[in-house]
Copies of this chain bind each other. A is one copy, B any other.
Amino acid sequence: MAAPLLRRLGRFTALALDEIDAVRDLISRRKRWRPGTTLFAEGRSAAPQFLLSGWACSQRVLRDGRRQIFDFVLPGEGFGSGSAVDGQARQTVVALTSVETVDAGAFIDAAREASPHGLWRAIRATEKEEDARRLEHMVRLGRLMAHEKVAHFILEMQRRSGADNAASFALPLTQETISDALGVSVVHLNRVLRQLRSENLVHLRGGVAFVGNAKGLAAATVLPPPPSG
């Protein structure tokens, strides 16, 4: 149960035994929510949490129903800490599948006071990673074409799923959800997916992504940074 969380934090530091225990201890206080539940509402005061299992997304909904998804929250990742003004959160977090969450406020405070290295360092690192992802997402939204967006997105998800370079990985998202993340209509996304499938680049089916040709996908993406340093 603690595996996803430990795996993510462990990527940045070797965790001490008592830190691992602290994480295990968190698990007992977890809560379960059904898909569609609002885990964290925009305008409420910030409340950092960990997502132990399932998928969620951070988003904003416009008056007329249009939706922009800012980021996805994968098992073991945190949410609810960033981008608040006057203590007011600026984004809503919604469960996409059945999920389990646990409050991380006290845990994070303890980590910060314990040591600037170790756990605290790992938590900071995941936040920085989130920041960097946001920049990529902005480039994707503003400057990539639909097929580039999709290719780029699939590769990001492959990497984040931990299944580096694996031929298939879990991607429990509907096309509607993906389209709201990429800023494209569902219908158009569907057509782009058909195209990519026919070229044997990716194949989405039943919540699983099959990558037929990772190199080809990367080629379909215009990698962000220029060659020059």
A interface residues with partner B (beta carbon < 8 Å): 41-43, 60-64, 66-68, 70, 82-85, 90-91, 125, 128-129, 131-132, 134-135, 137-139, 141-143, 182-183, 222-227, 229
B63, B125, B137, B227: which contacts A222 (Cβ < 8 A)?
A: B63
Chain B residues with CB under 8 Å of A139's CB are 60, 62, 68
Decide if A222 touches B64 in the complex (CB within 8 Å): yes
CA distance A96 to B82 in the complex (A): 29
A61 to B60, CA, bound (A): 27
Q: How far is the CA of A64 from the CA of B68 in the complex (A)?
A: 27
A225 contacts across to B, CB distance below 8 A: 42-43, 60-61
Q: Which residues of B contact A125 (CB under 8 A)?
A: 85
Question: Nearest Cβ distance between residue A113 and chain B, in whole angstroms?
Answer: 13
A26 CB to nearest B CB, Å: 26
Do A68 and B226 touch (CB < 8 A)? no
**Given contact pairs A63-B223, A134-B138, A135-B70, A41 touches B128 in the complex (Cβ within 8 A):** no
**CA A134 – CA B222 in complex, angstroms?**
22
Subset of 23 A-B contacts with CB under 8 Å = A41-B229, A42-B225, A60-B139, A60-B224, A61-B225, A62-B139, A62-B223, A63-B223, A63-B226, A66-B222, A68-B138, A68-B143, A83-B132, A83-B134, A83-B135, A84-B131, A85-B128, A85-B129, A90-B135, A134-B138, A138-B138, A141-B142, A141-B183
* Contact of A62 with B141 in the complex, beta carbons under 8 Å: no
Query: With A70-B135, A84-B132 given, can you name 5 additional A-B contacts, CB distance below 8 Å?
Result: A42-B225, A61-B226, A64-B222, A66-B143, A142-B183
A227 contacts across to B, CB distance below 8 A: 63
**Nearest B-chain residue to A62, judged by Cβ:** B222
How far is B223's CA from A61's CA once the two chains are assembled, in angstroms?
Answer: 10
Q: How far is the CA of A29 from the CA of B224 in the complex (A)?
A: 34
**How long is the Cα–Cα vector from A156 to B226 in the complex, in angstroms?**
29
Asked whether B131 lies within 8 Å of A83 as measured between CB atoms, the reply is yes
CB of A176 to closest CB in B, whole Å: 14
